[in-house]
Structure formats: C-alpha cells, structure tokens
Amino acid sequence: MAISDDQRQHVITLHSQGKTRNEIARATGVSAGSVTNICRDAGLSFDRSATKHASEARAVDLAAGRIRLAEKMLAASEDMLDVIDGPYEVYNFGGKDNTFESRVLDSAPVEVRRNVITTAAITFDKLTRIVEKSDTGLEQAAGVLDQIADGFAEVAKRYRAETPTDEA
C-alpha cells in the first residue's frame, strides 16, 4: 500500500512535535520502518541520546547495587566467621514435656564451622563474580576481596591450630 503525501506530512509534523518513531507509526498507520525512511528522506532523525543516557545511568545504578550487595554479603560472612571462634550456645526444644535445654561450648561444633566456612566460600565466589561484572567501583571491590582473602587465611590458620591430627 502506497503512503500518501498527507501521511508523509503527518509523519513529519508528528516528528517535529517530538513523538517517537513507534508513536508516529501507531498514529499514522505507517510501519515503523517507513516512518524512519520518511524522516530520513526529509533530513530528520530520531534523537536517541535520552535513551542512551538512561541506559548508562541504569548501568551505573546496577553496578552500585552490586557493590552494596557485596558489602552486605561480606559483613554477614565476617560476622559468621567471628562467631565460630567464640563461645557458642547449642540448644534443643522437645521431648514430651516440650522442654528447653542449652549448653555453651567453647567454640562452634565442627558441623557449624564447616557450614560457616562453606557459606563464606560461597560469598567469596559470588563477590568475585560481582566484581567481574562491575565496571565501576573496581578499587572498592578489590579491597573487599582482599579483606575476604585475609579473613579466610586467618580462619584457616586458627582452624588448623585447633583441629587435632591423627599423628601421634
């Protein structure tokens, strides 16, 4: 179907009013590709700088969000690693009388320590992936990873010192 001169003029008028290509296509019944061609032939183009700036701003916001999340993950992992070396309360609810029993141990049991270290290792892995995806805040992210690595080294050192070996 041929595009009439009136449709072409309407496309150009709507363009001058700042309408988007798709808005013009819907309003005139002309395909989006034809709208682009009509505008190009008239020496007009669609300004995409606002979309570009919005996309760039969104990318920066997402990068900042990844860094905030990384900091929260790091703090939670550090808190857990700190707890396993101090007094640790174990407890139980139950029995036919639904009683509560608790004891305080010198440090967390081996299975709790293993879970904490596994969680910290997963955190380390996730933080590494966040840093790989981040193109902003790289220095800050590298600092976070350095802190985690130092924490792992310290916990491993303490864990080895406290774990009995089979050697006699």
Where do the DSSP E strands lie in the chain? 88-94, 99-105
Residue ranges of alpha helices (H) inside 29-106 are 32-41, 49-83
The tens digit of pLDDT for each residue in 17-33 reads: 988 889 999 999 999 99
- Separation CA 57–CA 50 (nearest Å): 10
pTM score of the predicted model: 0.45
Asked if 88 and 108 touch (Cβ cutoff 8 Å), the reply is: yes
Nearest 5°: the CA angle 115, 118, 119 is: 85
- Separation CA 3–CA 9 (nearest Å): 10
The tens digit of pLDDT for each residue in 20-77 reads: 889 999 999 999 999 999 999 999 888 777 677 777 788 878 878 878 888 888 899 8
Residue 164 has pLDDT above 70, yes or no: no
What is the fold of 51-162? Answer: Methane Monooxygenase Hydroxylase; Chain G, domain 1 (1.20.58)
The tens digit of pLDDT for each residue in 78-112 reads: 898 888 888 999 999 888 888 999 999 998 899 99
Where do the structural domains in the chain lie, given as residue ranges?
Answer: 5-44, 51-162
